[in-house]
Chain A
Amino acid sequence: MGVGIRTEHLRKVYDTPPPAAARGGFGFATSPGKKDKDKPKKKFEVVALDDVSFEIRPGEVFGLLGPNGAGKSTTIGILTTRTQPTAGRAFLGEIDIWREPVKAKRLIGVVPQRPNLDFALTAREILVFHGAYFGQSAKERERKADELLEKFKLTDRAAHMVRTFSGGMMQRLSIARAMMHDPEVLFLDEPSAGLDPQTRLLLWETIRDYNRSGKTIVLTTHYMDEADSLCERLVIIDHGKIIAQGTPKQLKQSIPGGYLLRLRFNHTPEDLLGALRLLPGVTEVRSNDGAGADIYAGSGGPLIGPIVNAAQTSGIEVLDVHISEPSLETLFLHHTGRSLRD
C-alpha cells in the first residue's frame, strides 16, 4: 500500500537567483562566497536547504510547514525531479529520485503553487494529453478526463481554453491533472493559497478522499490550521533547516506550558522578568525587544491578574496582552522567535 519517501541530508545551494518556479518569496539573505584575497569578486549564493532529512510513510498525509522562503518549495522541487539537490539523496519507495527520475515521475502527481496549465490547450485537452504522456490508451484517458472534469465541476467549461479561467478553476484543473494518471504520491505546493474558505474545505475533502484510497499526500503550507487538521505528521522548516517534526499533537505538546501570552509593556526591566518567572504555572519567559515579554505557561487567562500585579509592583504599565492556545503557531514562535506570517 502506497509509496513512502525518504530524504537523506538534502542540501540545496542556488548560485544564481532561482527561476520563478517554486520559489514564491525568498526570505534568504544572500551571502558572499569564500573570501579570497586574490579574487575579491562576490559570488551569489543562497542556501535554500541545509541537511534536511525526514521520512514520509506510505499512505500518510505529510505536511511541510514554514514561512515564505523557508525551503518548502525547494524540498518539493527536489522530490518531484524539478530541482537538483546540491548534496544528499531522496528516495521514492526504493527509487533514488535523482538517479532514476523517469521512474520517479511515473509515481508522482504535482499540483504547483502557481497554476502552470498548458495555455495552448482546452481544459479537456490538458487532461487528455496528460493521460497520453503517461501512456494511457485513448479510451482510458477520455473516460478518466470526463470523470475528473465532472468531479471538479468543470464539465461545462471543458472545451474552453484555460487562459479564460478564474484562479479557482485553474487550481481545480491543476489538481485534476495531477490525479489523471492516478499517482501513488500527490504533491501539493501551497494548495489553498488564495482560495476562499468554502473552496478550501472542498479541497481538504478532495485531499482526504484521495488519501483514503491509500495514496501518500505531501503538502506544503504556511497555514497552521491546514497543517493541523489535514496532516498526520509534519516537519516545520525555517531558513532551510528542519526545526521540529512529529504529529501535530506531539509538536503542540512539545511547547513548554502550551499557552503563550504575548505581553507589551512600556518597558521591561530584568526584575519584572524575574518576577514573571516566579508566577505559578509559568515555564518560560523571554524578553521581547525590550518592551515586551513572551510567557509560556500551563494556563492563559488566570495568569493575567498576577501579571498585572507584578507589573504594578515594578511600576510598569501593561499595554497589550495576547493569549494563544497551544498551536503550531506558538510552536513555530517558540522555535524561531518569529510568527509564521512574519
Chain B
Amino acid sequence: MNWKTFYALLSRDGHVARRNLIPMLLQNLLQPLLFTFIFGRVMTTSGIMPASYKNMLLPGIMAISMVMSGVWAVAMPLISEFQFTREIEDRLLAPIEIGWLAVQKVVTGMIQALIAGLVVLPAAWLVMGAGISLSLGHLLEMLLIAVLVALFSAAGGLALGCSIGQTQVGLMFSLVLAPMMMFGCAYYPWQALDPFPVLKYAVLVNPLVYASEGLRGALVPAVPHIDTFLVIAALAAIDFSLLYLGLKKFHSKALS
C-alpha cells in the first residue's frame, strides 16, 4: 500500500468535487429539501399531516440525501471514466494496487455522503420550522450509523458504476434508485407497513430501510423503529457484501 499515491488520488477527487461543489449540492440536496418543504412544512402547517410527521421525516430525508450523494459521487464519475475515453487509465497506471484505487473511490463517496448528511440535517430542520425535537443523546450511535450508511452508499455506487454503461444511467435511476427511495422507509416508519405483511418483509432487502430506521433510532428514539442493534448488524453485512461485489466488479472492469 502506497499512502502517498492514495492521498494524491484522494486529493484529485477532492479537487474535482470542490470545483463542482454548487451543482453537486443542488443535484443531491435540492430534491430532498423540496420534499421536506412540501411534506414537512406545507402539509403539516395546513393540517393535512400531523405536526409529529416532521420528526419522523427528518431522519429519512437525511438517509436519502446521504445515500444518493454517496451513490452518485462514485457511480457517475466511474461510468463516464470507464467509457470510450478511458479517462481512468492514468489512475490505473498510478503506482498502487488497482484494488486501492477502488477503495479510494469509496472513501471519496463516503466523505461526500457524510458532508451531504451534515448539510441536509440543519437545512431540513430550518425548512420545516418549529416543532422538531431531535435527541442528541445518541451521538456516537448516530455517527456509527452515518458512517455505515456512507459506506454502503459509496460501495453500492462502486458496484453500480462498474456494472452499467452511460446509456443506462436513466434506467439505473428508474429501476434501482427510485424504487429504493420509495420502499426505503424514508418517508414513513417501517412499522407503518404492518397492514402490508408481504411488502413489510420484502423491503428488508433494501439497504435504505436500515439507513432510515437507524438514523430514526438515533435522532428521534421516541418514534417506533427497528432495533438499533439489528440495524447496525444489517448495515455492516450490507457494507461488506457491497464492498466485496464492488471491488470484484471494479477489478474485472479495470483489467482486460
Contacts and interface: CB of A to CB of B under 8 A. Distances in A.
User: Is chain B a partner of chain A in the same complex?
Assistant: yes
Interface of A: 14, 18-23, 77, 80-84, 101-103, 105-106, 108, 110, 112, 114-121, 125-126, 129-130, 132-135, 177
Question: In the complex, which range does the number of interface residues on chain B fall in?
Answer: 20 to 34
Contact of B85 (A18, A114, A129): A114
Contacts of B5: 133-135
B11 interface: yes
Q: Closest 10 interchain pairs by CB?
A: A132-B8, A133-B94, A116-B89, A116-B86, A135-B4, A120-B16, A105-B95, A106-B95, A129-B12, A83-B256
B15 A125 contact: yes
Nearest to A125: B15
Given A82-B92, A102-B95, A125-B15, A118 B256 contact: no
Given A102-B2, A106-B95, A133-B8, A116 B90 contact: yes
A133 B9 contact: yes
15 contacts: A22-B256, A81-B93, A84-B255, A102-B97, A105-B94, A114-B86, A115-B85, A117-B90, A119-B87, A129-B12, A132-B4, A133-B90, A134-B94, A135-B5, A177-B90
B93 A129 contact: no
A130 B95 contact: no
Nearest to B16: A120
Contacts of B4: 132, 135
A110 B91 CA distance: 12
Given A110-B93, A112-B86, A133-B94, A121 B256 contact: no
Nearest to B94: A133
Interface string B4-35: 11001101100110010000000000000000
Contacts of B203: none
B87 A20 contact: no
Given A82-B89, A116-B87, A19 B256 contact: yes
Contacts of B94: 105, 133-134
Q: Which of A84, A105, A106 has the most CB of B within 10 A?
A: A105
Contacts of B80: 119
A136 B85 CA distance: 26
Contacts of B234: none
A319 B227 CA distance: 90
Given A119-B87, A133-B95, 18 more contacts: A19-B253, A80-B93, A81-B93, A82-B92, A82-B256, A102-B97, A103-B95, A106-B95, A112-B89, A115-B85, A116-B86, A118-B12, A121-B16, A125-B15, A129-B8, A132-B11, A134-B95, A135-B5
B142 interface: no
Contacts of A129: 8, 11-12, 15
Nearest to B3: A135
B245 interface: no
A110 B92 CA distance: 11
Contacts of A105: 93-95
B229 interface: no
Interface string B65-109: 000000000000100100111111111111111100000000000
Contacts of A121: 12, 15-16
Interface in B92-138: 92-98
Contacts of B16: 120-121
A172 to B, nearest CB: 15
A134 B9 CA distance: 10
Contacts of A102: 2, 95-97
Nearest to A129: B12
Contacts of A126: 90
Contacts of A108: 93
Contacts of A22: 256
A174 to B, nearest CB: 9
A23 to B, nearest CB: 8
Nearest to B98: A101
Nearest to A23: B256
A21 B86 contact: yes
A73 to B, nearest CB: 10
A83 B255 contact: yes
